[in-house]
Amino acid sequence: MTDRNSKIAVVTGAGSGIGRAVAVELLRAGWSVVLAGRRAEPLAETAALVPGAASLAVPADVSRPEDVDALFTAAVDRFGRVDLLFNNAGTFGPGGVPVEELPYDAWRHVVDTNLNGAFLCAQAAYRRMKEQDPRGGRIINNGSVSAHTPRPHSVAYTATKHALTGLTKSLSLDGRPYGIAVGQIDIGNAATDMTARMPMGALQANGEVAPEPMMDVADVARTVRHMAELPLEANVQFATVLATTMPYIGRG
């Protein structure tokens, strides 16, 4: 189904986790959603969760400029415009590796996906939003509580998430003349495959391994939808959504 009267969203990393939850939330709310991810099969599984909704699956590696260009070309060809980019695709990289042992290739892979990929998608969305009629749109970057405070042995992930905050601020400032609103959601301990190990135990700053509380990923999706559905005259610049008792505020 194609509905050119609905709002159009591009969701990266839509084949699993937070990206899937946000895509499903938007589809159920009547948005048309372009589902982006590296593999076609998980994208099809996401689309099947909301039968009959207006979705388009586009396999894409966000670290490849040609894939990103093809993604946004497909979105505009199918739906006519882009109203929202949820810049979500990301990777943690190898876990538990001390900085002195982290291979450069692993560092580069995290940077290419989390930071370069977010920039390429934001740039492509920005170009379409600036040119379309009516002009404007919204970009929501998926940061992390690691954009504020690192976990042990997470140098690549943490560095990219701190960099995303700068990307969000610069895009927000540069988008003002064109009606492009840019914000960031920083998430802590949403229950997904990526965080499945945390209830069993995660390394803490004091060297102990302790189980951590989790929250339903649906609560994240509802927050993103709230941010997305504001009028462009209003913007959630930064939102932090986390499991209430996770070891983050203060000393735990």
3-state secondary structure 32-81: EEEEEECCHHHHHHHHHCCCCCCEEEEECCCCCHHHHHHHHHHHHHHHCC
Q: Which residues does 252 contact at the CB level (< 8 Å), separation at least 6?
A: 204
Give pTM, 2 decimals.
0.93
- At 252 the pLDDT is 61
pLDDT digits (tens, 9 = 90+) for 69-104: 999 999 999 999 999 999 999 998 887 889 999 999
Q: Evaluate if residue 251 carries a pLDDT over 70.
A: no
Cα angle: 40, vertex 44, 49; to 5 degrees: 155
Q: Evaluate if residue 214 carries a pLDDT over 90.
A: no
- What integer is the mean pLDDT of 232-247? 95
Mean pLDDT lowest among 18-32, 139-153, 204-218: 204-218
Chain mean pLDDT for the chain: 93
Please report the DSSP string for the chain in residue order.
---TTS-EEEEETTTSHHHHHHHHHHHHTT-EEEEEES-HHHHHHHHHTSTT--EEEEE--TTSHHHHHHHHHHHHHHHS---EEEE------STT--GGG--HHHHHHHHIIIIIHHHHHHHHHHHHHHHSSS--EEEEEE--GGGTSPPTT-HHHHHHHHHHHHHHHHHHHHHGGGTEEEEEEEEE-B-SGGGTTTTT-EE-TTS-EE----B-HHHHHHHHHHHHTS-TT----EEEEE-TTSTTSTT-
The percentage of residues in the chain with a pLDDT greater than 70, rounded to a whole number, is 97
Catalytic residue, chosen from 104, 126, 157, 248, is 157
The whole-angstrom separation of Cα 59 and Cα 70 is: 10
pLDDT band at 198 (very low <50, low <70, confident <90, very high): confident
Q: Which residues does 135 contact at the CB level (< 8 Å), separation at least 6?
A: 129, 178, 179
Concerning whether 157 is annotated as a catalytic residue, the answer is yes
Residue 151 near residue 246 (C-beta atoms within 8 A): no
Task: Determine how β-strand 209-210 pairs with β-strand 202-203.
Answer: antiparallel
Q: Evaluate if residue 1 carries a pLDDT over 50.
A: no
Question: Greater confidence, 204 or 158?
Answer: 158
Q: Go through the domains of the chain in sequence order and give each one's CATH number.
A: 8-242 (3.40.50.720)
pLDDT band at 2 (very low <50, low <70, confident <90, very high): very low
Q: Evaluate if residue 173 carries a pLDDT over 90.
A: yes
Question: Greater confidence, 120 or 245?
Answer: 120
Closest CA to 37 of 117, 138, 146: 117
| CA atoms in the 13 A half-sphere facing the CB of 126 | 19
- At 210 the pLDDT is 82
The whole-angstrom separation of Cα 128 and Cα 184 is: 20
Q: Evaluate if residue 46 carries a pLDDT over 80.
A: yes
pLDDT band at 4 (very low <50, low <70, confident <90, very high): low
pLDDT digits (tens, 9 = 90+) for 6-41: 899 999 999 999 999 999 999 999 999 999 999 999
